[in-house]
Amino acid sequence: MLVIAHRGASAYAKENTLKAFDLAFKLGASWLETDIQRSKDGVLVLYHDYNLKNGKKIKDSTFEYLKKFDIPTLVDLLKITPKNFTLNLEIKNDDNIYPGIEKQILEELKKAKNIAKEQILISSFAVDSLQKIHSLDKQINIGILTRNFELKTPLSLKAKSVNISVKRVTKKIVETCHKNGLKVLVYTVNDLQIYQKLKKWKVDGIFSDNPVLSSSNFFSLGGTL
């Protein structure tokens, strides 16, 4: 079962930062997951919430301002990503607040010299964004984030995976996905017992703040999991 570093090695470093990403690589994560938004001046940045902790919106902030909060860009991540490492890029685009972001992301990925297309999984809760990605590049891997599981949408998008909360996943959902050729990726798993249960269910991967969750000595690395 894959262990996907959730926003980097966020149990040990500030989430969605180059430090957290680099640590995830070094700790031996299978994949890395991060969130993509866009600054006021058009820079693709990696940050989860739509607002900073001070309340200012990402979309209304220049990149020069966002840099003060240790927020990296997609280009920054692509530059340090090792070869043969897979990235799950989540587009944050509820209500289409970032028009055209899908095309911009694909253009940046094409420029990346060390990342092959098959090493990318683009996911989102925004089905419109995934539809646009699919229309622009039918070969790119798509993972649909879902709060209410149903088959019609992932099958229509020819999705690679269904990404679902650990609070909502069931063994039946896993079996249904597998019968229909869909991988199941579960977020966010920081408990070893839950990890072992999902492994028995044959879940394909988990998102974890701790990239070495499955290691026998993971408690020795610090943090409170």
Q: What is the CATH number of the domain that holds 110?
A: 3.20.20.190
The verdict on residue 216 lying in a domain is: yes
User: Rounded mean pLDDT of 120-135?
Assistant: 97
Report how many domains make up the chain: 1
Quote the pLDDT of residue 211: 86
Quote the pLDDT of residue 224: 30
Does position 218 have pLDDT exceeding 90, yes or no?
no
The verdict on residue 61 lying in a domain is: yes
Share of the chain above pLDDT 90, in %: 87
pTM comes to 0.93
The verdict on residue 207 lying in a domain is: yes
The active-site residue out of 5, 6, 33, 154 is 6
The active-site residue out of 40, 48, 79, 197 is 48
Quote the pLDDT of residue 44: 98
Does position 225 have pLDDT exceeding 90, yes or no?
no
Does 134 qualify as catalytic in the annotation?
Answer: no
What tens digit of pLDDT does each residue of 39-93 get? 999 999 999 999 999 999 999 999 999 999 999 999 999 999 998 889 999 999 9
Domain span at residue 160 reads 7-221
The verdict on residue 1 lying in a domain is: no
User: Rounded mean pLDDT of 85-107?
Assistant: 97
From the list 178, 172, 141, 125, the residue with the least C-alpha distance to 31 is: 141
The verdict on residue 150 lying in a domain is: yes
